[in-house]
Structure 1
């Protein structure tokens, strides 16, 4: 497998400027929808629970159902983008987003809210892997790699929208009610659809798309592999969602489906998940593990901390959003810094250390803790969001096969959502029907342990160390030549 890079340079035959604002604008707008919706609802959960008479364990399903849909749909739609074309997949996903926003805004009961979040998870999952595939196609057209600044903007859109989600959600809930959190998706999706229809080039004919390393067309669908993956992941996710009353029997079908999936993927000429590649591409596999662990810690705070602020501290949705603002601003600033950083290991190490510090601060937090400490803890979780998002995205670009970048990007998001789903289960286990100090301390202790493991995983990663060394040698050579 070759890495996702292009070394030739040539002038584009059609005269279109490379990686221009018109190409990237719809990609950025579409890509912000999924991360925005993963966090925006966090400051509306208490209000939704009060309106429909359900507790924290039930409203956690609004978080988890989107993650389940996204964890499955991201690699599936990435594979589909590699197969039938990223523009078609991008536009189709936005249509589903519009439908989901209307269903959620008008839902008369809690069940329809769950349906809305399910549709939202599927629809918003198309944008990121399709965007990565569009950029890959543009790289092939121009004969040069996608600029790091373009990737940085894509990462900024995702990280920035996720970071401002709690604050925006609090503002919408306080002004338009929690239904505004669902309705806001409609105009944003329509804007992305119109700009994509006008500015994203039409998909190339199938015969002109790159071939995979096994000789078949890249992105050839594997329906049985997708079905087995969906079944195994669904069983695992449902088990994780209710750790207070674990359904142990679900582990048996999850293990059986995973075993059958493994056997099928190893035998299929163009598998849905290339296990042979992942078995030899240790750098990419470690990137997925690192990404999932990072977001497990982050989302424990994103949802657990916000609920604690409202129920234990007594803050309103708007005040909770304002308390989370330093985290949002830190994430935004550091996503820009991360996009301009040449290396990967140093930013990821700093992010892991700050996750440990932030978790340690929450270990001693109570209902009487000074506001300044709460703001500091939030910032400690905001900085890592910016650094690890851009760092792990750059690692995927570096180590993933070029002909399957859509599916690889989708799997990166799957790892992220598995971490988020596990976080939802931990929140339900820690809080039950009400967020309190004891539950917050339990999640903080888990965060400390996982952050320390993340530090070890990052510092000892030889691939990151070798890449940073090679980058420094290249930069030194360029300085010598100049």
Structure 2
């Protein structure tokens, strides 16, 4: 970006009437519009709550339809696949048509998915509901990041640290209460209640989005409405679909999926280089190494966090012999520490320091995981989960803040969607690694094998952070909201 462009983007370009296009009082010209918080937070939690709530519903669903675990697993995979493909797609649509429209469409899809899942006569209908749900819940996070960027442009302020922190803490909190909420819903209304909860959530998003979200934002002056790149979307979806299916079932017989993913990726790159208005501008991303570094850090960080969350949890029950409720209690410090750390450090602008400290602490936690065994005292397990929770709070917030600064303002929705896509890729890699390490049961030797994979991923995270010298500049308060790395 040229100096003239940077200067243009650094100046607030607010609409003639602040908050134009929204009913009610005008937004303060120099402060973040607090009326946006409720729809932003609610929209952003739809995806993580549906990712975690299904965990406690798999067993009763399998019993209801007489389905094996291999089939009910598609209820998890369907959401991952739809979300991984849908996040950057919906993010690009947010960039093109604005956050309000896509937020409302996502709310409708979430509502429809809730109805389908509640009335589903068979497992196939539930899988379809999860696919619709995956696409419907994609809009919340890209819309929120776009609104935050637009408010930064309107007010002329740097990144609103308090709002970014609230967004990160909200999604982390949902990771804590998701399974618990699912258990309560099942106790009250059976497993169908875990789908039915999306009906009131969808309605609430529709109402809040309609009332609170602006019809026009401060980014509209730079938004383009060129022809949508359908071919690019299809090739991108084919690439991710083949890659994710291969990662979810790592077998030599399925190597053709990996070959297909590579071929589709090549075709996608060629297409995007030739497109007038590409779905994902590979020239911009290829020239924005700091943003690519953030995507890479998000991927390896999620490999470690999901491997610990699911692998360590399984071992607590199989290898350590704890009950399901006791294992859940051991995990509470993991989320509690992450929330506390995010809250305490959220207003501090340092990105590189958070990533370095978080990466090192995560590496230490993975190494300590190699020392646990069936006789490890429970208080030591509590200490370990607390230690691992600290870097998770630092890393999630730091990567989100880094993306806010590094993304092209006109494509911040697509960039936010891609950040979630890379995070889900990490989750799927972690799931495949756990399956390969454990086999039939989560034994202590299997946990140690998984821990070595986590050590390597954490070391890569530290190396990527130390090698990225651009991160130091993100902590400077003089950055303007329109700057891109």
| TM-score range for the pair, normalised by the shorter chain length | 0.7 to 0.9
**1:78, 1:410 within 8 Å by CA — same for their partners in 2?**
yes
Decide whether aligned partners of structure 1 residues 173 and 428 sit closer, same or farther in structure 2, where only a CA change above 3 A counts. Answer: farther
Partner secondary structure for residue 103 of structure 2: helix
Q: 2:259 aligns to what? A: 252
Counterpart position of 2:146 = 133
TM-score, with structure 2 as normaliser: 0.87
The alignment status of 1:380 with 2:387, answered yes or no, reads: yes
Structure 2 equivalent of residue 411 of structure 1: 418
Matched with 2:297 is 290
The structural deviation recorded for 1:169 is: 3.9
Cα 1:128–1:325 shift into 2, 3 Å: same
Tell me the C-alpha RMSD between the 2 structures.
2.9
Aligned length: 466
Question: Which residue of 451, 458, 462 maps to 1:455?
Answer: 462
Q: Which residue of 1 aligns with 2:197?
A: 184
Given that 1:6 and 1:144 are in contact with CA atoms closer than 8 Å, whether structure 2 keeps it comes out as no
How far residue 323 of structure 1 moved from its aligned partner, in angstroms, is: 2.5
After TM superposition, the score normalised by the length of structure 1 is: 0.87
Q: What is the alpha-carbon distance in structure 2 between the residues aligned to residue 459 and residue 174 of structure 1?
A: 48
Q: In 1, distance between residues paired with 2:9 and 2:126?
A: 42
Inter-partner Cα distance in structure 2 for 1:295 and 1:234: 19
Q: Does 1:320 align with 2:327?
A: yes
| Residue 130 of structure 1, CA deviation | 1.4
Aligned to 2:482: none
CA 1:151–1:204 in 2, change beyond 3 Å: closer, same or farther?
A: closer
Distance 1:294 1:55 in 2: 31
Choose which of 338, 348, 359 in structure 1 pairs with 2:355. Answer: 348
SS at match of 2:214: coil
Q: Measure, in 1, the Cα distance between the counterparts of 2:92 and 2:14.
A: 28
Q: For residue 121 of structure 1, what is the aligned residue in structure 2?
A: 134
Deviations, residues 348-405 of structure 1 (Å, cap 9, x unaligned): 1222122223323333334443222322232233222221111111111111111111
**Aligned-partner Cα distance in 1 for 2:180–2:247:** 28
Instruction: Select which of 13, 16, 35 maps to 2:17.
Output: 13
* CA–CA distance in structure 2, aligned partners of residues 174 and 365 of structure 1: 35
Contact 2:148 2:160 in 1 (8 A): no
Note the C-alpha offset of 1:411: 1.0
CA distance 1:368–1:40, change in 2 (3 Å):
farther
Match of 2:483 in 1: none
Residues 38 and 349 of structure 1, relative CA distance in 2, 3 Å threshold: farther
Per-residue deviation, 1:463: 0.7
Give the Å deviation of 1:232: 0.8
Corresponding residue for residue 174 of structure 2 = 161
Deviates more, 1:161-170 or 1:276-285: 161-170
Q: 1:166 to 1:357 in 2, by over 3 A?
A: farther
Name stretches of at least 5 consecutive residues in structure 1 with no aligned partner: 475-482
Aligned partners of 1:173 and 1:318 also within 8 Å? no
Change (3 A) 1:373 1:394: same
Report if the CA contact (8 A) 2:403-2:415 is conserved: yes
By how many angstroms is 1:229 displaced? 0.2
CA offset at residue 301 of structure 1?
Answer: 1.9
